[in-house]
Chains A and B, each alone.
Chain A
Amino acid sequence: MALLELESVNAFYGRIQALRGMSIRVEKGEVVALIGSNGAGKTTTLRTISGLMHPQSGSIRFDGRDITRTGPSNIVELGICQSPEGRRLFPRMTVVDNLFMGAYTRNDKPGIASDLERVFTLFPRLKERRTQIAGTLSGGEQQMLAMGRALMARPKLMMLDEPSLGLAPILIETIFSIVREINAQGTTVLLVEQNANKALEVSNRGYVLETGVVVQEGSGKELLASEGVQKAYLGM
């Protein structure tokens, strides 16, 4: 059984339909990429999974439960945490307080402390800057903090929305190698990216979205080699 499964999800912003029968699934242990251009419904898909908005029809199942109508805080407790588009840190709180907010739904102090150490091992930069105010970090550090904050929830499924956006190429390499490492440590990852090339390289499977619907799916390699994807998203 898939860890996460969306079945024919229709979702609207007001009267505008953002998702049209979206069906995707993520197996335990995978890295899955959602690629597509602006307005394809990538971020909306993540917002719908997180419970910030609810589908008008269709269903979302996670870890054997129906979460179609579940609210965002319960979804975090069930084990889905998101590093949202644009990072969305708490800009006037310190690095450490941002990380603790990631662990908001948890009460196991020793577990939180060991996860904090884990995040600091993955991102030594954050440890150096632990008392700095988040809004004053550089773009790359902010992205690391956003990912670290999501990891603090100890999610079964971590969703990353555009982690490479606005970062220097060298930092993009770092971020994607950390995505691999997080996955190797046992966290399933759902990745939304405009940088299709990088995203597909680290992913087991991928979905190509267009105007709210899946138009192509396959393994990362297949999609990288596919002519349509090359033309549309890889600029080849």
Chain B
Amino acid sequence: MALGGMSLIDFLFYIICAAAVVLLAAQAVINPTAFVQITVFGLADGAMYALVALGYTMVYGIIELINFAHGDVFTMGGYISAAILGFFAINEQTFTAVNLVAILLVFPAVMLIMAAINVGIERIAYRPLRNAPRLAPLITAIGMSFVLEGVMFLWHGPASVHFPDILPHGPGFQTTIGGVFVTFKDGFVMVTAVFLVTLLAIFINRTKLGKAMRATAQDKDAAQLMGIDINRTIAATFFIGALLAGAGGMIWGLYFNNLFYNLGFRTGLVAFTSAVFGGIGNIPGAAIGGVLIGLIAAYSDSYIGSKWTEVVIFGILIGVLVFRPTGLLGMRVPEK
């Protein structure tokens, strides 16, 4: 059935989106301050989801694997950064120069450590299955996820782990703009995420290795015929995905100040939903999807009730997979 060129499914999709937007707009008009406040929370969460979603989408783009261990690489980034921060004489009461130095040093360190671990995971768990049926690496990825969660469980046990509160905080670093409460941390999360995503975009679009990764994602045989070593580009994809996830884990810790061993399970699923929502395999799509899912989760928490938020998010996952598998920015690949 066609409605002015749209299928019924597309039509329903637009109706639902329009209804959601109208309801949100109504809330925004009724209480604009609360709306902006919720939006700030949503953007901060969304920025972190985006960092994790990028790893899912890049790996899917290049080897069509949903890397279920990716959420746990994110959590482990938080655990390891907390451990390294323990070596610094950091001060949780006030922001000191040591705190600044610690943050500046631990960020790159944890990113590189997680990148190395992720490349190792690819080498051990996925590369031997490169030519196996698709289900095999998928199951291995779930197994890898359990392994990482198990390691973190053994390390710190089932209780949540405190992450040092070393970002500037307290009365001097928060303000109320027109009734909206904003902290330094909110700004920090968003600025850091935008910075990292910009670096990624430059890398992917401008550098030779970045272009080779895109070429490998688009046609592996052709990439090999151009002399591209695809094992190297695939390893690079895992490396970069984990740089972002590791940074995401540390940012999460700095923002929420607590972590637990299976945080990556839920966060990973939400980030995966973001990647699917934006169009799996599409890099800008994952960034946008992450921010949108962060916002939707925040609106759902406040306007529908937090107990419904998972229903909303995973409802979106199911809806997108059923009705619009290419996601928001998913491309229709031109015929070769």
B-contacting residues of A (Cβ < 8 Å)?
50-52, 71-73, 75-77, 81-82, 84, 86-93, 97, 100-102, 104-105, 133, 135-136, 149, 153
Contact = CB atoms under 8 A, between A and B. Distances in A.
Nearest to B334: A135
A76 B225 contact: yes
B218 A50 contact: no
B333 A100 contact: no
Given A104-B208, A135-B335, 14 more contacts: A71-B229, A72-B227, A73-B228, A84-B222, A88-B219, A88-B336, A89-B222, A91-B218, A91-B219, A92-B214, A92-B333, A100-B211, A104-B228, A136-B334
A89 B336 contact: yes
B330 to A, nearest CB: 12
A97 B214 CA distance: 10
Contacts, number: 81
Contact of A135 (B224, B228, B229, B333): B333
A92 B224 contact: no
A90 B233 CA distance: 15
Interface in B209-225: 211-212, 214-215, 218-219, 221-225
A76 B336 contact: no
B226 A76 contact: yes
A92 to B, nearest CB: 6
Contacts of B219: 88-91
Interface of B: 208, 211-212, 214-215, 218-219, 221-229, 331, 333-336
Nearest to B225: A82
B333 A72 contact: no
Contacts of B215: 90, 93, 101
Going nearest first, the 9 A-B pairs with the smallest beta carbon separation are A76-B227, A135-B334, A105-B227, A88-B222, A72-B224, A73-B227, A90-B218, A90-B215, A73-B229
B211 A93 contact: yes
Contacts of A73: 224, 227-229
Nearest to A106: B227
A88 B221 CA distance: 8
A13 to B, nearest CB: 13
19 contacts: A50-B225, A52-B221, A52-B224, A72-B225, A81-B226, A81-B227, A82-B225, A84-B221, A89-B222, A90-B215, A91-B333, A92-B333, A100-B211, A101-B211, A101-B223, A104-B228, A105-B226, A135-B334, A149-B226
Contacts of B335: 135
A153 B214 contact: no
B212 A101 contact: yes
B323 to A, nearest CB: 24
B336 A91 contact: yes
A72 B226 CA distance: 8
Most buried by A among B225, B333, B334, B336: B225
Given A97-B211, A104-B212, A90 B222 contact: yes
Contact of A101 (B221, B228, B333, B334): B228
B214 A93 contact: yes
B38 to A, nearest CB: 36
Contacts of A52: 221, 224-225
A224 B212 CA distance: 42
A87 B335 CA distance: 12
A95 to B, nearest CB: 13
Contacts of A81: 225-227
B336 A86 contact: yes
Contact of B336 (A75, A135, A149): A135
A182 B303 CA distance: 67
A149 B211 CA distance: 14
A101 B226 CA distance: 6
A88 B224 CA distance: 11
